[in-house]
Amino acid sequence: MKRSGFKTRARTIDHLGREQVADCPTAISELWKNAFDAYATDVALDLFDEKSPVAVVSDNGHGMSLTEFQDRWLVIGTESKATADPVPKSDRKGLQERVKQGQKGIGRLSCANLGPILLLVSKRSGEDFVVSLLDWRLFENPYLNLADIFFPTIEVTDLEQAFERLPSMVDELVQNIAPHRTPDSNESDTMQRENARRITKAWEDFDNLPERAGGVTSKSIVESIRELNFSLKHLSGWVVAQGDSDSGTALLVSGINYDLRSQLLSPPFTQTVARTRKNFRETLASFLDPFVDPDDGDLPDYFADFSYQVRTWKDEISKTIVGPEIGISRRDVLKLEHCIVGDVDTEGVFRGRIKAWGKWLPDEVKIRPAPDVQIPTRVDTRLGSFELFISAMEFDYMKSTHDKAEHDRFREIAELYAGFMIFRDGLRVLPYGRSDNDFFEIDDRRSRHAGREFWNHRQMFGRIGITRFGNPNLKDKAGREGVIDNRAAKALRDVVVNLLMQSARKYFGTDAPIRKELLPEVKENKKQERDAENRQKLRAKNKRTFARNLKDGLEILPSLVR
């Protein structure tokens, strides 16, 4: 009998990181969630508009020591994400205990999506800075084993030392491709030489591959590493570098991707750039649930203490493009004429309040699941209860109860922030709510009968609020592109689809009795408003005509008098 087991090639990291994460906003969201788990209250993405642009993801969490960096950050799938062990009180920085957002211990690999070269700087309170230089392209070589790749790592007492020693770290990192290491005390000279020959051969074979990602070669990797332009100014937005925090982590990225570069461009934009910028900003603008009730006394403290922002830098001047003052809030969208607010229990029954055409219905509304909707009850498949909040408007102004100014403002907001999202313990689960995601089949149903189905991604704001404790079977996919399609996820979709269909038919769509009752009055009021507006325009026109004629007449009056 022989003992057999898996062996790991280096490109496994490439599969789990750069290739696994769906897109750039998802990658940034994952890194921010890691900062959230580290009890940060301030996270940021800074984009520096330079000849070779640089991106910096930073936070003021508890940071890492050298041992933690080596034994946790560099260990894929750590037990710290899989277990329910609480974060030590000393690491919480006086904050309430938070529910861990990370599940699989691979979120840190998301930074490979942002760009190939990473300089990690981390600091624990009362300890030195830990600095490490990585290049994710090393993991694209299919001939290397995971153990063949190393990253130069140092400890320094201040940030100036980190950048002073960066050239020597570059020389060390290059040895992953052109090895001439000093013999390791744990390895014989023969073994050291053999490993060097094997690694050199691996890169020769890599360069001879018929298809390489983006035409990357060992030479181009070495050249880009040696051209690194990281400097202390790139930490201008990091609260630790500013002296406002004594702990945190900063990830400096070089060779940034297309999505990040698009944020630095000036108009006019191509369609692709405009779409990329819009998707990037609207996704990150709702990183934290904007639909929670601010007057709820049970809200966790991070809804007040946690801040996130994206800034662009040009000539040392910053501009915030995503931040706490940019986006929507529950108070904003509660002013819309249609609303559904309530909870769905473990049996799939909705209980809550409904507003139609600007008026809240007097009684609590109950909507039961359809007879053909099965709600799993087993521990490993149950859905659990969840919150629901939806606000919407009539896009046709003549059918809306809003005045013209309100209607125009809400339509403008809808262009940027409309969507039906999912949040877990207050943080967004992607990709739900994006215009290209139709998990709840909203657009599909509307395409068959727009009036009856009513709901539309472009005119509705809202979310489903789930929790790790209350909905344990709604788990993220490894690539963080939605939840795993298990029994609980199927039940969630069935329950919500039924709720949207029933509410449309009873209260909002063309078949709804309330619509048939109230819409004629709304239309008549709008017609009267339009007629009054037309009369006002005519009066203004007549006034301008009279003034012009009067002026012309006064000019010729003296000659007429003579």
| Residues 468-503 pLDDT 10s | 999 999 998 876 678 999 999 999 999 999 999 999
| Residues 215-257 pLDDT 10s | 789 999 999 999 999 999 999 999 999 999 999 999 999 999 9
Nearest to 328 by CA among 376, 294, 289, 367: 289
444: Cβ–Cβ under 8 A, 6 or more apart, which residues?
Answer: 438
- Whether 306 has a pLDDT exceeding 80, the answer reads yes
Nearest to 225 by CA among 108, 122, 134: 134
Sheet holding 129-135, edge to edge: 153-156, 129-135, 117-123, 248-254, 54-59, 42-48, 307-314, 317-322
- CA 271 from chain center: how many Å? 21
- Compute the distance between CA of residue 504 and CA of residue 186 in angstroms, rounded to an integer: 71
- Whether 158 has a pLDDT exceeding 90, the answer reads yes
φ, ψ for residue 30 (rounded to 5)? -65, -40
Give the single-character DSSP code of 288: B
- Compute the distance between CA of residue 87 and CA of residue 124 in angstroms, rounded to an integer: 14
354: Cβ–Cβ under 8 A, 6 or more apart, which residues?
Answer: 339, 340, 341, 360, 361, 365, 503, 507
pLDDT for 479: 66
Q: What are the CA-CA distances from residue 109 to residues 160, 204, 222, 473, 538 (Å)? A: 27, 26, 21, 24, 64
- Between 3.40.50, 3.80.10, 3.30.310, 3.30.230, what CATH number should domain 330-515 receive? 3.30.230
The model's pTM is 0.88
- Compute the distance between CA of residue 28 and CA of residue 111 in angstroms, rounded to an integer: 7
What average pLDDT does range 150-176 have in this prediction?
A: 95
| Residues 249-300 pLDDT 10s | 999 999 999 999 999 999 999 999 999 999 999 889 899 999 999 888 889 8
Higher pLDDT, 326 or 67: 67
Cα radius of gyration rounded to whole Å, the chain: 29
The structure tokens listed for 312 are 């662009």
pLDDT for 230: 95
Which position has the token pair 């290209």? 436
Nearest to 122 by CA among 255, 245, 226: 245
Which position has the token pair 């400890």? 155
CATH architecture of 11-162+229-261+271-281+296-305: 2-Layer Sandwich (3.30)
Write out the E strands in 266-348: 307-314, 317-322, 338-344
- Compute the distance between CA of residue 182 and CA of residue 172 in angstroms, rounded to an integer: 11
CATH 3.30.230 residue ranges for the chain: 330-515
Sign of CA dihedral 73, 43, 130, 255: positive
| Residues 132-156 pLDDT 10s | 999 999 998 989 988 889 999 999 9
- Whether 80 has a pLDDT exceeding 90, the answer reads no
Sign of CA dihedral 488, 35, 275, 339: positive
- Whether 363 has a pLDDT exceeding 80, the answer reads yes
- Whether 394 has a pLDDT exceeding 80, the answer reads yes
Number of C-beta neighbours around residue 201 at 10 A: 11
CATH 3.30.565 residue ranges for the chain: 11-162+229-261+271-281+296-305
Sign of CA dihedral 83, 84, 88, 94: positive
The structure tokens listed for 517 are 């009752």
**pLDDT tier, 345 (very low <50, low <70, confident <90, very high otherwise):** very high
- Whether 392 has a pLDDT exceeding 90, the answer reads yes
